Amino acid sequence: MTTLLSELGTIVCIAAYALAFRLYGRCGKPALLNPVFLSVFALCLLLLLGGFDVQTFQRNSELLILLLPVCVCALAMPIYRLRREIVRQARALFFSVVGVTLFSCCSVAIIGFLLHNTQERLVSALVPKSITGPVAQEIALAIGADFSLGGAVAISTGICGAVFGTLLLKHFAPQHAAIGGIAIGASSHGIATAQLFAEKHQVAGTYAGLAMALCALFGSVAVPFIWLALKLILW
């Protein structure tokens, strides 16, 4: 049975998300029952406790990974619709993305340094956590961190943003959707951005998608140099 389910990785992933989404809706859409969080948690339990062949499961769920670029490209449509407004705010948007990226990288490195027993290799995998998963993995590889750990940390950051991002948006920035969207997209990338659209926060989702893309562009160039400077200063 476990072998069969390992061979049906894509179907198992879709089924897990569909069930989690149904539960999320039935319970009134509470933040802690976010369907991405629930489905990932359920799949982790399934893989750990069910005796699955993880490599086979991953290989047979690659269809979902192939569809990811299509989903990312779809974010271009709402950005195009708000292009005039975005151009008017281009300067503020640029400095916001740069500021968030610098703060994210520096804060986690400083915290890791203050916790004296934290290994430098572990901290380096945390540095690109707020940059979208595939880019974070390549950055982790470039700065000498573990490739898989860098991706896992980035995905975990995105899930946290999806769980708490819309909740914080409702309470602290209900009248400033663009600002909230930039903050969520720049810090929690694609997973949280998709959750904004799922919750019908169209303007916030649009700015989150743009911030996510800009953070990936800026971070891929700047983060290796930021990490080098942090190592020289802190370690």
What are 41-98's pLDDT values in tens digits? 888 888 777 767 777 777 777 777 777 777 778 888 888 888 898 898 888 888 988 8
Ramachandran angles phi, psi of 27, nearest 5°: -90, 10
Question: Which residues contact residue 15 at a Cβ distance below 8 angstroms, ignoring those fewer than 6 apart?
Answer: none
Q: What is the pLDDT of residues 152-183, one digit of tens each?
A: 888 888 888 888 877 777 776 667 788 888 88
Nearest to 99 by CA among 211, 19, 193: 211
Which burial class, exposed, middle or buried, applies to 131 when counting CB atoms under 10 A from its CB (0-12, 13-18, 19+)? buried
The dihedral through the CA atoms of 146, 152, 155, 157 has a sign that is negative
CA 37 to the chain's CA centroid:
12
**Which residues are CB-contacts of 222 (< 8 A; sequence separation ≥ 6)?**
101, 102
Banded model confidence at residue 19, pLDDT cuts 50, 70, 90: very high
pTM: 0.84
State how far Cα 182 lies from the chain centre. 13
The band of 7, judged by pLDDT with boundaries at 50, 70 and 90, is: low
Residues 90-140 pLDDT 10s: 888 889 888 988 898 888 888 888 886 667 778 888 898 888 878 888 888
**C-alpha to C-alpha distance for 17 and 26, rounded to whole angstroms:** 14
**pLDDT tens-digit map of 181-231:** 888 888 888 888 888 888 778 888 899 999 998 988 898 899 999 888 888
d(CA 68, CA 164): 23
